[in-house]
């Protein structure tokens, strides 16, 4: 609900459990007054206090009033160069060379439903599930308007934000920074939580107190990156899974980003998040507009778990698009770790045949099927079937897979090219490169200049031919290097600061075309695993390969960190062979199954090499996944134990919305002789319900299971795991 108090010019955004407020003051500055637990009928501007502070300048309108300074008051969208020395939200370069932005409140409008952003991903709604507020700020000297967009999703406690900058003057201006969000707090006794890592170990949680100065994470790799995720949290120092105030902020963007928090001199703090200012400079001609990507905030007063569940609900219902926002996605088998580049049509059909017999529904042919691709040195850019490897092409192969009752999926890496390819030989200027410099390679490949429409058209033309040649139900869209040598032959020198962002817009453009032309095709995002796991990609690709590390124990950490923002149904997770390809670890098949089932489930191994007993176990895993799919993927998610803090076990639980069913997953770390007896306290159950566990006769009340716990069985061997189901009776 959006409430406007006209007399006091106060805007209050209420969600079910939270309130967000801002106020246009007497000098037409838009101040941020509050974000937190819901407060009805409120004017929270009295929380903002000012008094004269040396070295904090006063704006001209304040006249002799030295108590008023932008430098100490919480701003809704901070300015630059005019008296607030903390992190700016916007930086403009005006034709006279000045770098200032001075924004004053000009007006607002309310819209039904949720705004959309042209060419950019965003949360969406049906009918009146959300409302929009647009606040207009203006820099009068620059003749630039800044529109602040707010989308209020009341039921899921989500508020989205975006910013549109319009040049209403006659001369060009340049935008050197344009944050998607600025969030000021009248306190700095907060912890910051970020999700960091590297290729093969993404999104590991890190928590630490704010300290004076600026703390930030971000990416200048052209992708949102393996190293830092565009999702950050701020929380009470004592907040934990189940209690305390915490704020989550996610950026729906797949390129360079920065999330920075400044803890200022008077112990206030400010979080800004948006496109990374590195090599970003956008020229705005007279009459043109620039839109910064969307950010989405959740505030929880019930700890991290509640925040995650709100994000999960919102992402499932308002970000993942039809037809995959509710429908069960097929269990897949992927041949990558089974064969790498070394396969034939017969060996692929062999894997598919074994998989079909075990109830697996989709066969995915990974890298190596096209051009001259027999290793990773050649072929990218030539999206025609390698007839030597697959005689008769997809026309011959796909019907063989379909005859097994399976769907067929294919791997592609549309943004990349190898120098050893027909595409590169014909168009060497189509890659990102700086004239006069030899470009850096990554995995031996170069990056196509996706900021150019002609380049995208050519790739899309090739993709369409592939898709027309056979019945294809799934695409794995991969991307296997970071961007370097970012310069485009398609833009003049003054606009080279636009290339990083135009590249991302180009990727979104092609993904949107695919989604529009082939809505039934399920696209799985991938970037060497989870190097582009973000809300932007999820709008186009309802699942993303979570990591190239498929080891179940490493995956506990990766999937745990990922779960803080992103729901289980978005995390590509496969059972692979042991010893694991990435770390050599041997884990039980059961453990691998339990971990992968809490993800977009599949297998990535040569099933023909499994013993009869293993096949039986895989068959029953697939069956169990299908039976419990609704609960596993759409249930409310509770973290019961962290893989970082608790060596004894990692546990998590999914609970049905009516709390009548739950599934509990437990993975033990190191086992020891004569281990202590442990109990596991569950969460999210109905205290008064009586639950049956795995159909046995004994009944446990929800209250007992949550307060006293469930006795964990004693287990032996390396990394054992178990799963049990609760059903309310009566
Ligand atoms: C990286 C991906 O993450 C892998 O799953 C696989 O598809 C390879 N690329 C193929 O080159």
Q: 376-406 pLDDT, tens per residue?
A: 999 999 999 999 999 999 999 999 999 999 9
Q: Among 682, 721, 673, 722, which Cα is nearest to 702's?
A: 682
647 has a pLDDT exceeding 80: no
Residues labelled catalytic: 534, 614
Q: Measured between alpha carbons, how far is 72 from 49 in angstroms, rounded to an integer? A: 9
540 has a pLDDT exceeding 90: yes
434 has a pLDDT exceeding 70: yes
Instruction: Please report how the helices 612-634 and 589-597 are oriented relative to each other, as an axis angle in degrees rounded to 10.
Output: 20
Half-sphere exposure of 577 (CA within 13 A, CB side): 14
Q: Is 480 in the pocket of ligand 1 (CB under 6 A)?
A: yes
579 has a pLDDT exceeding 70: yes
State CA 493 to chain mean position distance.
33
Q: Kindly list the distances between the CA atom of residue 165 and the CA atoms of 298, 608, 621, in Å, as whole numbers in the listed order.
A: 25, 58, 52
Ligand 1 mutation pick, 226, 376, 378, 411, max ligand atoms within 8 A of CB: 411
Q: Which range (39-48, 430-439, 505-514) has the least confidence?
A: 39-48
- What are the start-end ranges of the H helices in 404-447? 422-426
355 has a pLDDT exceeding 80: yes
- Residue nearest ligand 1's atom 1 by CA: 528
Q: Among 544, 554, 547, which Cα is nearest to 578's?
A: 554
- Residue nearest ligand 1's atom 10 by CA: 367
Q: Measured between alpha carbons, how far is 448 from 177 in angstroms, rounded to an integer? A: 26
Q: Is 549 in the pocket of ligand 1 (CB under 6 A)?
A: no
- pLDDT score recorded for residue 323: 86
Report, as an integer, the average pLDDT of 696-709. Answer: 97
Q: Kindly list the distances between the CA atom of residue 595 and the CA atoms of 558, 598, 601, 614, in Å, as whole numbers in the listed order.
A: 11, 6, 9, 17
Q: Is 324 in the pocket of ligand 1 (CB under 6 A)?
A: no
**Residues ≥6 apart with Cβ < 8 Å to 615:** 354, 357, 358, 607
Are 270 and 182 in contact, with CB atoms under 8 Å apart? yes
Are 94 and 167 in contact, with CB atoms under 8 Å apart? no
Q: Is 526 in the pocket of ligand 1 (CB under 6 A)?
A: yes
Are 180 and 250 in contact, with CB atoms under 8 Å apart? no
Ligand 1 mutation pick, 340, 416, 526, 544, max ligand atoms within 8 A of CB: 526
322 has a pLDDT exceeding 90: no
Kindly state the percentage of the chain with pLDDT values over 70.
100
Ligand 1 mutation pick, 377, 523, 545, max ligand atoms within 8 A of CB: 545
* Tokens 């999960």, located at residue: 312
Q: How far is the CA of 582 from the centre of ligand 1 (A)?
A: 13
Q: Is 661 in the pocket of ligand 1 (CB under 6 A)?
A: no
For the chain, the first-to-last Cα distance in angstroms comes to 38
Q: Is 528 in the pocket of ligand 1 (CB under 6 A)?
A: yes
pTM: 0.98
- pLDDT score recorded for residue 645: 79
- pLDDT score recorded for residue 646: 60
Are 640 and 697 in contact, with CB atoms under 8 Å apart? no
**Residues ≥6 apart with Cβ < 8 Å to 470:** 394, 395, 397, 398, 399, 408
29 has a pLDDT exceeding 70: yes
Report, as an integer, the average pLDDT of 698-709. Answer: 97
Q: Measured between alpha carbons, how far is 174 from 172 in angstroms, rounded to an integer? A: 7
Report, as an integer, the average pLDDT of 291-311. Answer: 98
Q: Is 102 in the pocket of ligand 1 (CB under 6 A)?
A: no
Kindly state the helix (H) or strand (E) to which residue 191 belongs, with its residue range.
strand 190-198
Q: How far is the CA of 477 from the centre of ligand 1 (A)?
A: 10
Q: How far is the CA of 187 from the centre of ligand 1 (A)?
A: 44
pLDDT in tens, 107-133: 999 999 999 999 999 999 998 999 999
- pLDDT score recorded for residue 648: 85
Q: How far is the CA of 442 from the centre of ligand 1 (A)?
A: 14
Report, as an integer, the average pLDDT of 48-68. Answer: 94
- pLDDT score recorded for residue 669: 87
Q: How far is the CA of 478 from the centre of ligand 1 (A)?
A: 7
- pLDDT score recorded for residue 202: 98
What one-character DSSP code corresponds to residue 607? G
- pLDDT score recorded for residue 413: 98
How many CB atoms sit inside 10 A of residue 4's CB?
Answer: 12
State CA 455 to chain mean position distance.
27
233 band by pLDDT with thresholds 50, 70 and 90: very high
Q: Among 623, 563, 616, 621, which Cα is nearest to 596's?
A: 621
Q: Is the dihedral of CA 104, 105, 106, 109 positive or negative?
A: positive
- pLDDT score recorded for residue 683: 98
Residues in the chain: 730
Q: Measured between alpha carbons, how far is 109 from 455 in angstroms, rounded to an integer? A: 39
What rounded mean pLDDT belongs to the chain?
97
Q: Measured between alpha carbons, how far is 235 from 23 in angstroms, rounded to an integer? A: 24
Q: How far is the CA of 373 from the centre of ligand 1 (A)?
A: 14
Q: Kindly list the distances between the CA atom of residue 467 and the CA atoms of 15, 194, 385, 412, in Å, as whole numbers in the listed order.
A: 43, 39, 12, 11
């Amino acid at each position: 609900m959006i409430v406007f108090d006209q007399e006091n010019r106060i805007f209050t955004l209420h969600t079910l459990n939270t309130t967000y407020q801002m106020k246009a003051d007497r000098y037409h500055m838009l101040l941020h007054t509050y974000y937190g637990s819901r407060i009805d009928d409120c004017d929270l501007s009295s929380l903002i206090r000012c008094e004269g502070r040396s070295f904090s300048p006063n704006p001209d309108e304040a006249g002799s009033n030295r108590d008023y300074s932008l430098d100490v008051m919480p701003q809704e969208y901070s300015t630059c160069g005019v008296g607030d020395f903390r992190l700016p939200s916007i930086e403009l370069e005006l034709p006279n060379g000045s770098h200032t932005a001075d924004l004053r409140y000009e007006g607002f409008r309310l819209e039904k439903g949720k705004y959309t952003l042209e060419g950019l991903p965003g949360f969406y709604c049906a009918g009146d599930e959300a409302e929009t507020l647009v606040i207009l700020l203006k820099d009068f000297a620059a003749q630039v308007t800044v529109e602040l967009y707010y989308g209020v999703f009341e039921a899921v406690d989500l508020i989205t934000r975006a910013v549109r900058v319009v040049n209403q003057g006659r001369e060009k201006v340049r935008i050197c920074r344009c944050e998607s969000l600025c969030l000021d707090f009248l306190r700095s006794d907060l912890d910051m939580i970020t999700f960091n890592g590297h290729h093969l170990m993404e999104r590991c949680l890190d928590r630490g107190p704010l300290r004076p100065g600026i703390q930030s994470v971000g990416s200048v790799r052209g992708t949102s990156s393996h190293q830092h995720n565009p999702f950050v949290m701020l929380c009470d120092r004592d907040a934990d899974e189940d209690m305390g105030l915490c704020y989550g902020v996610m950026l729906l963007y797949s390129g360079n980003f920065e999330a920075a928090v400044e803890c200022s001199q008077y112990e206030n703090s400010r979080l800004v998040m948006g496109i990374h200012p590195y090599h970003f400079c956008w020229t705005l001609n007279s009459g043109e507009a620039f839109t910064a990507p969307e950010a989405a905030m959740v505030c929880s007063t019930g700890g991290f778990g509640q925040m995650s569940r709100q994000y999960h609900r919102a992402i499932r219902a308002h970000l993942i698009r039809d037809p995959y926002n509710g429908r069960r996605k097929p269990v897949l088998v992927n041949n990558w770790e089974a064969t790498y580049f070394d396969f034939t049509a017969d060996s692929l059909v062999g894997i598919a045949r074994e998989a079909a017999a075990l109830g697996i529904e989709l066969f995915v042919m990974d890298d190596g099927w096209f051009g001259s691709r027999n290793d990773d040195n050649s072929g990218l850019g030539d999206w025609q079937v390698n007839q030597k490897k697959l005689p008769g092409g997809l026309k011959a192969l796909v019907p063989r897979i379909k005859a097994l009752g399976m769907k067929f999926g294919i791997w592609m890496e549309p943004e990349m090219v190898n120098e050893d390819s027909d595409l590169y030989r014909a168009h060497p200027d189509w890659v990102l490169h700086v004239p006069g410099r030899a470009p850096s390679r990554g995995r031996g490949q170069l990056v196509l200049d996706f900021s150019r429409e002609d380049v995208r058209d050519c790739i899309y033309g090739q993709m369409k031919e592939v898709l027309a040649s056979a019945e294809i139900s799934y695409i794995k869209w991969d991307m296997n290097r970071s961007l370097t040598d970012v310069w485009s032959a398609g833009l003049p020198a003054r606009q080279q600061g636009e290339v990083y962002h135009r590249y991302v817009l180009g990727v979104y453009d092609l993904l949107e075309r695919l989604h529009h032309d082939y809505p039934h095709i399920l696209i799985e995002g991938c970037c060497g695993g989870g190097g582009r796991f973000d809300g932007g990609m999820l709008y186009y690709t309802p699942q993303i390969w979570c990591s190239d590390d498929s080891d179940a124990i490493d995956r506990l950490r990766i999937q745990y960190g990922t779960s803080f923002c992103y729901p289980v149904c978005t995390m590509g997770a496969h059972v692979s062979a042991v010893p694991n390809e990435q770390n050599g670890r041997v884990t039980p098949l059961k453990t691998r199954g339990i971990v992968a089932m809490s993800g977009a489930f599949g297998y990535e191994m040569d099933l023909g090499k499994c013993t009869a007993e293993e096949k039986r176990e895989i068959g029953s895993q697939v069956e169990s996944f299908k039976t419990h799919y609704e609960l596993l993927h759409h249930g409310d998610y509770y973290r019961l134990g962290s893989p970082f803090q608790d060596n004894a076990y990692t546990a998590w639980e999914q609970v049905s919305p009516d709390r009548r069913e739950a599934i509990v997953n437990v993975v033990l770390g190191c086992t020891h002789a004569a281990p202590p007896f442990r109990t596991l306290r569950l969460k999210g159950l109905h205290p008064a319900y009586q639950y049956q566990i795995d159909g046995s006769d004994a009944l446990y009340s929800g209250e007992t299971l949550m307060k006293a716990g469930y006795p964990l069985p004693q287990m032996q061997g390396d990394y054992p795991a178990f799963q049990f189901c609760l059903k309310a009776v009566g």
